[in-house]
Amino acid sequence: MISVKRFDVFTLFPEVFDPYLQASILQRAIQRELVEVQLHNIRDWTTDRHHVTDDEPYGGGGGMVMKPEPIFTAVEGVLGTAPACPVILLTPQGRSFTQSVAQELARLPHLAILCGRYEGVDERVRLHLVTDEISIGDFVLTGGELPALVLIDAITRLIPGVLGDPEGAQDDSHASGLLEYPHYTRPAEFRGWRVPEMLLSGDHARIARWRREQALLRTWQRRPDLLANAPLTEADLRFLEGLEGSGLEEG
Ligand code: JBZ
């Protein structure tokens, strides 16, 4: 399967990416050449003497808008005049980023990501350069840089070989369509709080069933909306029926 090998990120603040890309899983993936992240400072592609990237909105109203010329020059300078890869704009007006969008994008070999700042980008960038618009959620941010890192993180960890364990990405919340079961590690007793005895039993079939039921219980308690789309077995459905009127709502 082909999966993302290269991200080209267009931003006014490339320096904010470095600390996150230089730590942990992403650093390792980049070092091992499973993924490449090229950062491009849009300001480097300005041609005026003051390197201006923003201007006042036509029609007034305050705030600033990112000018189209430096963005087109940057993207076309790096990718050519007809980019072969998706050009993703991070914007509150985009489609919601979900695990299924991450899986869809992880299959592509190359992505360009454009980070807005100020009130956003000139509409002609959206109309004539951008091919996909994505939002990471309904909250107010100052720019697209953190959302870009969210995409890069969520997509990179799906690339085969990035996580040590080949099943690493399978068990996580949302991969199964359910929230995760609770995790415990040593010690078996901490300040009088014991690890559930089930997990110390060594009975792997019973542990797997317990974990599945814990995932179902959590999802039913906290995110019942997810149950509508999660693949559920007959046994799962029986367990969920048993929860109705059980008094476990508050968990
Ligand atoms: C996003 C002006 O640039 C912005 C501002 C907010 C914002 C983004 C870009 S992307 N919020 C989101 O994904 O929710």
Catalytic, 172? Answer yes
* Cα of 139 from ligand 1 centre, angstroms: 9
Q: How much distance in Å is there from the Cα of 145 to the middle of ligand 1?
A: 8
Residue of the CA atom closest to atom 12 of ligand 1: 135
Question: What average pLDDT does range 214-232 have in this prediction?
Answer: 98
| Percent share of the chain, pLDDT over 70 | 96
Verify whether ligand 1 is closer than 6 Å to residue 90 (CB atom).
yes
| Chain center to CA of 10 | 17
Nearest CA to ligand 1 atom 13: 135
Q: What is the pLDDT of residues 23-64, one digit of tens each?
A: 999 999 999 999 999 999 999 999 999 999 999 999 999 999
233 alpha carbon to ligand 1 midpoint, in Å?
Answer: 38
Confidence check: pLDDT of 166 > 70: no
**How high is the pLDDT of residue 170?**
63
DSSP type of residue 181:
P
pLDDT at 168: 56
Predicted confidence at residue 167, as pLDDT, reads 60
Question: Cβ(68) to ligand 1 under 6 A?
Answer: no
Cβ–ligand 1 contact at 116 (below 6 Å): yes
* CA dihedral (81, 87, 90, 92) positive or negative: positive
Cβ–ligand 1 distance for 154 under 6 Å, the answer no
* pTM of the predicted model as reported, rounded to 2 decimal places: 0.95
Q: Which amino acid is at 213?
A: E
SS3 at position 117: coil
